[in-house]
Structure 1
Amino acid sequence: MTHTIIGVFDSFAQAEAAKSRLEAEGVAAANMAVHAQDAGFGASAATDTGLGTTPVPAADVTGHEHEGAMGRIEHFFKRLFGDDDRPEEAGHYQEAVRRGGALLSVEVNDESSVERVQEALYAAGAVDIDSRVAQWRGAGYAGYDRNAPAYTSDEIAAERQAFPVVQESLEVGKREVSTGGVRVYSRVTETPVSGAVTLREEHATIERRAVDRPATTADLTESSVEVRETAEQAVVAKTARVVEEVVVGKESSSRTETVNDTVRGTEVEVERVEGTDKTARLDEVGKKPL
């Protein structure tokens, strides 16, 4: 069964842009049509309006080329629902066109494509028709009137005048900054030191003492004796030992900081202004109205 999904857009240009987007996603251009005050009529075979899918036989559109934009759209919905069983929602779509909007109808041939096309229409900027109707009702809209004239450009601009509601948000992030560091140098130093050592010396001694005894043969022989003298000297030797290591590294820590600031925003207030009674009155002598 063929289904037709209808998207409501605020302008003909937006509907055309959505049509081009769907065409780029693989939807055939022959299966899409834009209905607006400045667009031609496009035929459809069935429609999805939230009330279910209703198959409708094809109809001859000959003779409707000169009915005007609203007449063509009227005929479009007549083909879909007939004259007797047309839901109120169909009138809401026509009212959207009367107020300067545009409809994009997309034909699909399988159930699996319906949701995909609906999501694509919303992504392209289709409006929520129920929310839009609620706004209209707040301004006195009671239902589509086929005899009501189409909105002028000034009326369209006045109805769509928007007041932006701005709200700032606080985004707290973080960045890394340099807070200093350490630099380690290694160099050779010289420090005077002193140490005490006991040195021993040996010296030859000569002692002469007087004696009186008879000489013997041994006393009359030649002999010699050598005595070596020694002395200790201080000897300096140095050894190097590692007595400490300086390890250079980094360690990390974290802390939580609360950032206080002020965000700005705007609020839009809606105030209802009462009407003024301008009924003319006559003075006491029957003169023209004051």
Structure 2
Amino acid sequence: MTQTLVGLFDSMSDAQRASDRLAQEGIARTDIHVHAQDASRESEVPDDVSGSGGTPTRTVAADTREGAPHEGGIAHFFKRLFGNDDAPEEAGHYRESVRRGHALLSVDVVDESQIDAVRAAMNDAGAMDIEERVTQWKAAGYSGYDSSAPAYTADEIAEDRRTFPVVREDLTIGRREVSTGGVRVYSRVTETPVSESVNLCEEHATIERRSVDRPATEADRQEGAVEIRETAEEPVVAKTARVVEEVVVGKESSQRTETVNDTVRGTQVEVERDAGNAATGGADPVNRKPL
């Protein structure tokens, strides 16, 4: 069973880019149709968009002659989908979008396995959210599609495309390391005078002469020599180095929480409806405010 997927794009060029992407996904060009309000837009579509002799995407232009409603192929397209009496309200919204200068891309899908790929390709190519657009239109006075309302002119299309950006600043808190001081540790050699007492011993030879009176013996007549050495102690200084203390240098970390107070700027867009003169024959395309 053939299913038709519909995507709404801001311009013909956007719809054409989407059709090129669908062709790359394997969708036949004969199953891809672009609906636009201006027949002159067909010139934007090259004779061979595939670049290899393939069939170009079919562009269906609505009738925008003066005094004639812009029905044409878009009306036939929705009648083919829904018939004459059972078209849902959403079909009118799509026809209204074409009246406002948007482009409608429809794809006939025979293989159901390709539906998700077609839908993804349309979204990636920038398909618009029709419900979001209808909400904006209603805020400006739109109450439903009117087939008798004239198509938008080029100036009206340009006015309708005006955008007011909503800006919001985001506050990003980061961290950076700053120097808050430090400690330097030096090691150097010092000299300190010291005084110690030590007891020293000395040995001296002594000679004592004594008067005696006794007979001499043979031993007394022998020669001999005796040597007595004198000694004295003197201080001997020896120094040894010992480690008596250690200075350990390091860092320890701690955490603290600081609240940063600042302001961020942004813009707000307000929509104010201006009640103008009542118009007959459908919605007044001039009496609207851009969103």
TM range (shorter): 0.7 to 0.9
CA distance in 2, matches of 1:132, 1:108: 26
TM-score (norm 2): 0.73
1:141-290 to structure 2, matched below 5 A, reads 141-209=142-210, 211-217=211-217, 218-275=219-276
TM-superposed CA distance for 1:201, in Å, is 1.1
Question: Amino acid of the residue matched to residue 28 of structure 1?
Answer: I
CA distance in structure 1 between the partners assigned to 2:275 and 2:87 by the alignment: 37
Q: Kindly, what percent of the aligned residue pairs are identical?
A: 65
Contact 2:6/2:105 (<8 A) preserved: yes
Aligned to 1:18: 18
CA deviations 1:27-63 (Å, max 9, x no partner) are: 43514332222455xxxxxxxxxxxxxxxxxxxxxxx
**1:61-76 correspondence to structure 2 within 5 Å:** 70-76=71-77
The offset of 1:276, in angstroms, is 7.4
Return the offset for 1:70: 4.3
Q: What does residue 53 of structure 2 align with?
A: none
Q: 2:104 aligned with 1:103, yes or no?
A: yes
Deviation at 1:233, TM superposition (A): 1.7
Partner of 1:104, secondary structure, is strand
Cα contact 1:5–1:107 (8 A) shared by 2: yes
**Unaligned segments of structure 1, at least 5 residues:** 41-63, 278-290
Unaligned runs of 5+ in 2: 43-59, 65-69, 279-291
Q: Is the 1:70–1:98 contact (alpha carbons within 8 Å) kept by the matching residues of 2? A: no
Aligned residue in 1 for 2:5: 5
Match of 2:134 in 1: 133
**1:150-190 CA distance string (max 9 Å, x none):** 10122223333332222222111123344454555544444
Output the TM-score relative to the length of structure 1: 0.73
Residue 55 of structure 2 corresponds to none
1:141 and 1:133, CA in 2 relative to 1: closer, same or farther beyond 3 A? same
Alpha-carbon distance between aligned partners in 1 of 2:91 and 2:2, rounded to the nearest angstrom: 19
CA 1:35–1:184 in 2, change beyond 3 Å: closer, same or farther? farther
**Equivalent residues in 2 for 1:39-58, closer than 5 Å:** 39-40=41-42
Aligned residues: 252
**1:266, distance to aligned residue in structure 2 (A):** 2.0
